[in-house]
């Protein structure tokens, strides 16, 4: 059976699970863990990708990310490819490190964001890596200790999480910790890792009962949310796929996008690829990046090589290009 397309969009919330192949160790020591976190932090900052929760377990990783200027697929490809190469070189091994594709579940922020933050951060306690909540507060390889103020990093958005509990940081931390403590007795939560509205309801039996009262329900293993959220996500995914197919059918590629942008700014297409910080060139290049990444699905990494820019620079250009397209009222596909 063919793999389903990943669902993504700016602002989308993702619960990501990465597992090692054959349940082997993904991290053999603290050097491996430090390497992974250094890469993660650098890539999240460069791509403007918010992170609300994370944890490193011996053979898997949980991340709670929100899509920023760069697609989550690009963020994860950079992270996992770089780490795998480093891990194999350091431990003198060859071959695949990760088990198949990482799992990415599109999540409905309300009401699941806080539940996912708690679920992810309680993994070390459930896995008996730490003995009690006090030890988890200081555990180095979970975002919980950062929220609790015991450790610091510059890439985890703790203010967004604490903001749900109180404006005052000290009180917010106490309330957040009480919320986490309340979840200790809940044990494993397959409904939060399996995805799909059916699982979030507690299985098909409950789903069928609810269906009799409310009518047809829609579920998808790639999505965690209520039926309306699932339907809207699938509709958006379908529209994006159809638009990309339509553009390809009309012969749109990087070259044609460059010509379209050049026409808008009354310049030659090759000027878009040329270095320089002239305002008009920067605007044209930004719109070009936006349409290539968001409309054609070109990776920011591939575009960076073509433009001889850094990947973070392309991500910033995509954001700038989106603003330009909206302000100028221009679209890639001409009527």
CA distance 124 to 133: 10
Of 258, 266, 263, 305, the C-alpha closest to 286 is 258
Per-residue pLDDT, 221: 56
pLDDT(161) > 60: yes
For residue 80, pLDDT beyond 50: yes
Q: Residue ranges of the domains in the chain?
A: 13-192, 194-242, 250-328
- State pTM to two decimals: 0.67
Q: What is the pLDDT of residue 213?
A: 44
Q: What is the pLDDT of residues 177-193, one digit of tens each?
A: 999 999 997 766 666 66
For the CA atoms of 4, 312, 54, 19, what is the dihedral angle to 10 degrees? 40
The confidence score (pLDDT) of residue 48 equals 86
- Label residue 6 exposed, middle or buried (CB < 10 Å: 0-12, 13-18, 19+): middle
- Which residue, 250, 310, 241, 317, is CA-closest to 281? 317
3-class state of residue 208 by DSSP:
helix
pLDDT at 1 over 70: no
Stretch 297-313: mean pLDDT, rounded?
Answer: 85
Cα separation, 329 vs 334, in Å, equals 12
For tokens 């994006």, the residue is 240
Please give the mean pLDDT across all residues of the chain.
82
Per-residue pLDDT averaged across 60-64, rounded?
A: 96
pLDDT higher than threshold 60 for residue 205: no
pLDDT score of 174: 97
Of 174, 166, 230, 177, the C-alpha closest to 200 is 230
CATH architecture of 250-328: Orthogonal Bundle (1.10)
pLDDT > 60? residue 331: yes
pLDDT above 60 (res 52): yes
Is it the case that residue 234 has pLDDT exceeding 80? no
Q: Is the pLDDT of residue 3 over 60?
A: no
Compute the average pLDDT of residues 91-114.
84
User: pLDDT (tens digit, 9 = 90+) per residue, 266-302?
Assistant: 999 999 998 888 899 999 999 999 998 888 878 887 8
What is the pLDDT, as a whole number, of residue 223?
Answer: 57
Asked if 120 and 64 count as a contact pair (C-beta separation under 8 A), the reply is yes
Strand-by-strand arrangement of the 223-224 sheet = 51-56, 60-66, 13-19, 103-107, 223-224
pLDDT, tens only, 216-231: 344 445 556 555 655 5
3-state SS class at 45: helix
Residue count (the chain): 335
Cβ(53)–Cβ(116) below 8 Å: yes
100-114, 190-204, 218-232: segment of lowest average pLDDT? 190-204
For residue 27, give the 3-state DSSP assignment: coil
d(CA 305, CA 288): 14
Strands 103-107, 60-66: pairing is: unpaired
pLDDT of residue 226: 56
Instruction: Examine domains 13-192 and 250-328 and report if their fold is the same.
Output: no
Q: How far is it, in rounded angstroms, from Cα 230 to Cα 166?
A: 30
CB distance 166 to 53 below 8 Å: no
Tokens of 81: 């490819």
* Dist CA 256 CA 262 (whole Å): 10
Rounded percentage of the chain residues whose pLDDT exceeds 90:
53
Mean pLDDT of 28-40: 97
Percent of the chain with pLDDT over 70: 77
Identify the CATH assignment for 13-192 out of 2.40.50.140, 3.40.50.970, 3.30.70.1290, 3.90.380.10: 3.30.70.1290
């Amino acid at each position: 059976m063919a793999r389903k397309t990943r669902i993504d969009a700016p602002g989308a919330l993702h619960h990501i699970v990465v597992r090692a192949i054959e349940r082997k160790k993904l991290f053999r020591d603290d050097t491996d863990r430090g390497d992974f976190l250094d890469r993660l932090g650098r890539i999240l900052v460069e791509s403007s990708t918010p992170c609300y929760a994370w944890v490193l377990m011996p053979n898997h990783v949980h991340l709670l990310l929100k899509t920023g200027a760069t697609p989550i697929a690009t963020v994860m490809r950079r992270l996992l490819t770089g780490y795998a190469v480093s891990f194999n070189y350091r431990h003198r091994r060859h071959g695949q490190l990760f088990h198949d594709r990482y799992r990415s579940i599109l999540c409905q922020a309300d009401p699941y964001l806080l539940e996912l933050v708690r679920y992810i951060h309680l993994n070390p306690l459930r896995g008996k890596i730490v003995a009690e909540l006090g030890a988890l507060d200081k555990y180095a390889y979970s975002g919980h200790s950062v929220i609790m103020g015991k450790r610091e990093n510059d890439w985890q958005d703790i203010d967004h999480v604490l903001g749900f509990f109180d404006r005052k940081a000290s009180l917010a931390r106490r309330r957040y910790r009480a919320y986490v403590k309340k979840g200790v007795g809940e044990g494993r939560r397959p409904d939060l890792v399996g995805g799909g509205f059916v699982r979030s309801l507690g299985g098909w039996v409950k789903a069928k009962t609810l269906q009799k009262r409310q009518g047809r329900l829609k579920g998808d293993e790639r999505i965690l949310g209520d039926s309306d959220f699932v339907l809207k996500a699938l509709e958006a995914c379908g529209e994006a796929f159809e638009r990309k197919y339509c553009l390809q059918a009309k012969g749109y590629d990087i070259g044609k996008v460059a010509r379209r942008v050049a026409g808008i700014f009354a310049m030659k297409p090759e000027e878009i690829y040329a270095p320089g910080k002239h305002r008009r060139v920067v605007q044209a290049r930004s719109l070009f990046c936006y349409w290539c990444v968001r409309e054609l699905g070109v990776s920011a990494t591939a575009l960076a090589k073509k433009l001889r820019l850094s990947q973070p620079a392309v991500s910033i250009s995509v954001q700038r290009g989106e603003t330009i397209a909206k302000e100028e009222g221009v679209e890639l596909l001409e009527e």
